[in-house]
Amino acid sequence: MVGGLDPGRRRLGHGPAVSDRRKAMSEGFSASIVQLSPHFTKVNMHGTGMSVHRFDGADGPNSDPHDHPFGMDIEVLVGGYVEEVFDIDKPHDPPARIERKQGDRFRNEAGTIHRILHLTAPVVWTSLHLGPVERDVSAYQFRDDGVWRRPIQGGEWQKIG
């Protein structure tokens, strides 16, 4: 078991095992585990609007900040991290640095542009209550000549404005 997640049984806490889909679905609950990177795992709780994230690595200071397709209410369950939040209307201002601590609850809107700078604990668990999809996900670059954006899946950078 690593950080409370047992990949063999695909079980998180006391919830139903994903491998036991028939029972989980008969109880009106199903979940899937998605490994998004070597350091980031997402557990989707289907039909609940909730997701749980486990990460043991950060985006880092040299990564392109990104937004999300939906607004979300977030709670830091275990650990903590420091994120940078960028203001697209003030592209030459430094990003706000915000420390998120265990127990913190906050909201990120779909248009919030951010990156996880570093973790303050070896492993971080967060729960997210997701709103409706509002937009496609983009990566951003804040350059001397303005803000540039591209789809997170790849593609050409385009200057905004």
What CATH number is associated with residue 105? 2.60.120.10
**Domain that includes residue 49, residue range:** 5-159
Mean pLDDT of the chain: 85
- Looking up tokens 């668990």, which residue turns up? 125
Q: Rounded to two decimals, what is the model's pTM? A: 0.79
Token code pair at residue 70: 């939906």
> Per residue in 46-101, pLDDT tens?
888 899 999 999 998 999 999 999 999 999 999 999 999 999 999 999 999 999 99
- Looking up tokens 């350059």, which residue turns up? 143
Q: Total structural domains in the chain?
A: 1
**End-to-end C-alpha distance for the chain, whole angstroms:** 48
Q: Left if phi > 0, otherwise alpha if psi is -120 to 50, otherwise beta: which for 60?
A: left
Higher pLDDT pick, 16 / 71: 71
Q: In whole angstroms, give the CA distance from residue 109 to residue 31.
A: 24
